[in-house]
Amino acid sequence: MKLLVTGGAGFIGSAVVRQAVAAGHGVVNVDCLTYAACLENVASVAASPLYAFEQVDIRDAEALARVFVAHRPDAVMHLAAESHVDRSIDGPGAFIDTNVRGTYTLLEAARAYWQDQGRPESFRFHHISTDEVFGSLGPEGQFTEETPYDPRSPYSASKAASDHLVRAWHHTYGLPVVLSNCSNNYGPFHFPEKLIPVVILNALAGRPVPVYGQGLNVRDWLYVEDHAAALLMVLEKGAVGRSYNIGGENEATNIDLVRKICAILDRKRPDAAPHAGLIEFVTDRPGHDLRYAIDATRIRSELGWKPSVTLDEGLERTVDWYLANESWWRPLQARQGVGERLGVAR
Ligand SMILES: NC(=O)c1ccc[n+]([C@@H]2O[C@H](COP(=O)([O-])OP(=O)(O)OC[C@H]3O[C@@H](n4cnc5c(N)ncnc54)[C@H](O)[C@@H]3O)[C@@H](O)[C@H]2O)c1
């Protein structure tokens, strides 16, 4: 299959690109290379005859039309987005622009191409979204695919809007779409502004490890390679018009997660004092959702997917990867906004 993957130079998109090429799919990676992109993430497949890169912005209708005609994909996997909640609090405009207008522009380009091809039923537009569209849970319960949307941050609202557009293009124009909503990812190539890499890299450097509020927010952590495998499965086996929740079934409070990482570093890079001594509670994120949890029954029972690693195994692998790949993360720490406290504006 020939896949057009948007956002393939980002964290999750690059895992999809690497796995898709390894599975023998052709891939055209469409990415405009924002601050969050890193082409090194796909260096391992860059020389493959199965791989092509197009530096294109998904808001550029003309460029997208050219890419569709030139590469003739069988499917689109849409991951390009502005993805950092804290940045969405400081500057929501970019999130509306890329996540909403960009998704609309991509949908229109895909629809024009699909119609020109004679509306093949085998075509797929796979939209990759987040569990954050469902809002915040109390101590009990999980998000299912039927949970009403209730986004609460500019980021999650922009993703919810894009999900609605994708469903509308299916119902109105018949575009064969599938959707997936996943929980928090972690693993290799995670950009160093997100929680887990921040914890690893600050602790390694002996710098304070910031934890928002009391660290009691709960997330369901999904190892990025497990997520990429799920996405390829949804693309190949998912029913048209259907959405699939993808979760790691690994819930943890932020403070427990941070303590786990500190304990791993105590074993692998012992310091004079335990790394947990660096933990510093800082002002909470405005509107910080308390708890997300995914009920992954549908993807488990209908498609046969399940996560392959536990949180403890995944964290161990992730810490090992950061210890072995300083040449990847060190230059990224100099990018705009990385290492700064973002998203406190009210
Ligand atoms: N990271 C998570 O935990 C998580 C959880 C749930 C859902 N998601 C979703 O998965 C997708 C990928 O997330 P990620 O963490 O890999 O994001 P990321 O920020 O690491 O990567 C996003 C990529 O998209 C590209 N991009 C951004 N704007 C673009 C534009 N206008 N045109 C073309 N390319 C553009 C960037 O250059 C970057 O390479 C996003 O849609 C996100 O909403 C992520």
What pLDDT sits at residue 287?
87
pLDDT > 70? residue 208: yes
Residue 74 among the catalytic residues: no
Res. 346 pLDDT band, cuts 50 70 90: low
Instruction: Report pLDDT for 329.
Output: 97
pLDDT in tens, 124-150: 999 999 999 999 999 999 999 999 999
User: Is 131 an active-site residue?
Assistant: yes
Question: What does the pLDDT look like over 16-44, one tens digit per residue?
Answer: 999 999 999 999 999 999 999 999 999 99
Distance from C-alpha of 159 to C-alpha of 80, rounded to nearest angstrom: 11
pLDDT at 245: 98
Cβ contact 331:339 at 8 Å: no
Does the pLDDT value for residue 321 go beyond 90? Answer: yes
Measured in degrees and rounded to the nearest 5, phi and psi for residue 176 equal -75, 100
Q: What is the pLDDT of residues 156-188, one digit of tens each?
A: 999 999 999 999 999 999 999 999 999 999 999
> pLDDT (tens digit, 9 = 90+) per residue, 43-74?
999 999 999 999 999 999 999 999 999 999 99
Q: Does residue 211 line the site of ligand 1, with CB under 6 A?
A: no
- Which of 79-83, 121-125, 283-287 is least confident? 283-287
Q: For ligand 1, is residue 11 a contact (CB within 6 Å)?
A: yes
Which residue among 38, 57, 83 has the greatest number of ligand 1 atoms within 8 angstroms of its CB, and so is best to mutate?
83
Give φ, ψ of 170 to 5 degrees. -70, -50
Q: What is the pLDDT of residue 180?
A: 98
Q: Is 130 in the pocket of ligand 1 (CB under 6 A)?
A: yes
**Cβ contact 303:238 at 8 Å:** yes
């504006």: which residue's tokens?
A: 345
Contact 182 CB / ligand 1 (< 6 Å): yes
Answering whether pTM is above 0.85, one says yes
Do the Cβ atoms of 35 and 336 come closer than 8 Å?
A: yes
Identify the pLDDT of residue 152: 95
